[in-house]
Copies of this chain bind each other. A is one copy, B any other.
């Protein structure tokens, strides 16, 4: 039976899910607080570009958009680490030819909105702020952010794809026995730009995710199609150095000269940008349940906002959509069972990727500058190549497979123990290529 479905939040996940729902013949109202992105740029402090990997591609493939998006995506084959002396070290993400992709958030979102609108079954409504949620109907009370005009939208099913500070989730939080956690790390982030070179070309290698690991903090850079890079400084709010300790333009220049000397000459507007651009916080949201009867469901960041350090935020949200669609095939009109199965199946994997994302911050900002750690990664890649049936590195499982996140996390913990033993082998630096890993693993 076809349903009237309201999807609140026309970000990436809400737009994708609306396409899927519309194609199944449901009548979808896709509602967004911000103006139409295709006419007015969103200035909401969300990241400019993001890392698309296998889970994201699979979702786009399901709606036939993979090839189109690949056109605007820039492959990044590994991490390029920049030392304080400007020395470069490259660490591949996977096997030869495997890469994650830098994609513009707004371009991707526009494409998804266009496809949704072309469906015929999806209508978009912008600049509508959700003021109140009635879970039992379900209904949402909206107010137009410009005119103040208000309306109530009732439907059969209500989907909350309204992000980390979800209004739908807020309403669910007021029901009894709703588990909820919001956890902010001690770091915030600020976006900065490396503009294209004078000839329009990228100023540094465009096929890598660049990292300036500095122990307790880091700078990263992802390429944009226009030749620029978007840099993100992940930095403590307090302490020395921190957003609090770097206050003036002179502070900024002195800090970059000392800490990121190789990149400073490529960032002519750094001081102005640093002063003008907002500092944003980084939150992990965990909650349960994700659904309310057969009426309401949370998806994407609304159910499980994570920190960006595994590049899996959008990928995880897109995988939610794939899981939801598979369950629609399985349970048809039984939305109660569909929703219950969705939340039960998906929750442990959301927990796992939230944990992995928090852990990976330490790896990115600190460990990747450690030769021993890089050797370990090299050995893991070596084992994977020689014995692909026995060993898949954790990063590969997350970025280049569909192995459920919690299963990957569990396998990764076992690998951690094995690798600790291997790294303790005397002279491992010189002998690692000759070891009998099959025997070691069987022990």
Interface residues of A (CB under 8 A from B): 173, 176-184, 237, 281
| Cα A178 to Cα B182 with chains together (Å) | 8
Q: Write out the residue numbers on chain B whose beta carbons fall within 8 Å of the beta carbon of A184.
A: 176-179
Q: How far in angstroms is the closest Cβ of chain B from A365?
A: 19
Query: When A and B form their complex, which 4 residue pairs have the shortest distance between CB atoms, in order from nearest?
Result: A181-B181, A177-B184, A180-B182, A177-B281
Q: How far in angstroms is the closest Cβ of chain B from A288?
A: 9
Chain A interface, DSSP helix/strand/loop, else mixed:
strand
Q: How far in angstroms is the closest Cβ of chain B from A66?
A: 37
A sample of 5 more A-B contacts (CB under 8 A), given A176-B184, A179-B182, is A177-B184, A178-B184, A180-B180, A181-B182, A181-B183
CB closest residue in chain B, given A173: B182
Q: Are A180 and B181 in contact (CB under 8 A)?
A: yes
The residue in A177, A178, A182, A184 that gathers the most chain B C-beta atoms within 10 A of its C-beta is: A177
Q: How far in angstroms is the closest Cβ of chain B from A108?
A: 27
Q: How many copies does the complex hold?
A: 2
Q: How far in angstroms is the closest Cβ of chain B from A416?
A: 23
Q: Write out the residue numbers on chain B whose beta carbons fall within 8 Å of the beta carbon of A281.
A: 176-177
Q: Are B179 and A183 in contact (CB under 8 A)?
A: yes
| Cα A291 to Cα B229 with chains together (Å) | 40
| Cα A430 to Cα B120 with chains together (Å) | 81
| Cα A181 to Cα B173 with chains together (Å) | 11
Q: How far in angstroms is the closest Cβ of chain B from A289?
A: 11
The residue in A173, A178, A183 that gathers the most chain B C-beta atoms within 10 A of its C-beta is: A183
| Cα A394 to Cα B90 with chains together (Å) | 52
Q: How far in angstroms is the closest Cβ of chain B from A187?
A: 11
Task: Jot down 11 A-B pairs with beta carbons below 8 A, ordered by A.
Answer: A173-B182, A177-B184, A177-B237, A178-B184, A179-B182, A179-B183, A180-B180, A180-B181, A180-B182, A181-B182, A181-B183
CB closest residue in chain B, given A188: B177
| Cα A173 to Cα B283 with chains together (Å) | 13
Q: How far in angstroms is the closest Cβ of chain B from A10?
A: 24
| Cα A66 to Cα B177 with chains together (Å) | 37
| Cα A183 to Cα B288 with chains together (Å) | 9
Q: Write out the residue numbers on chain B whose beta carbons fall within 8 Å of the beta carbon of A173.
A: 182
| Cα A182 to Cα B180 with chains together (Å) | 5
| Cα A237 to Cα B237 with chains together (Å) | 42
Q: Write out the residue numbers on chain B whose beta carbons fall within 8 Å of the beta carbon of A177.
A: 184, 237, 281
Q: Write out the residue numbers on chain B whose beta carbons fall within 8 Å of the beta carbon of A183.
A: 179, 181
CB closest residue in chain B, given A186: B177
Q: How far in angstroms is the closest Cβ of chain B from A166?
A: 14
| Cα A195 to Cα B165 with chains together (Å) | 50
The residue in A173, A178, A182 that gathers the most chain B C-beta atoms within 10 A of its C-beta is: A182
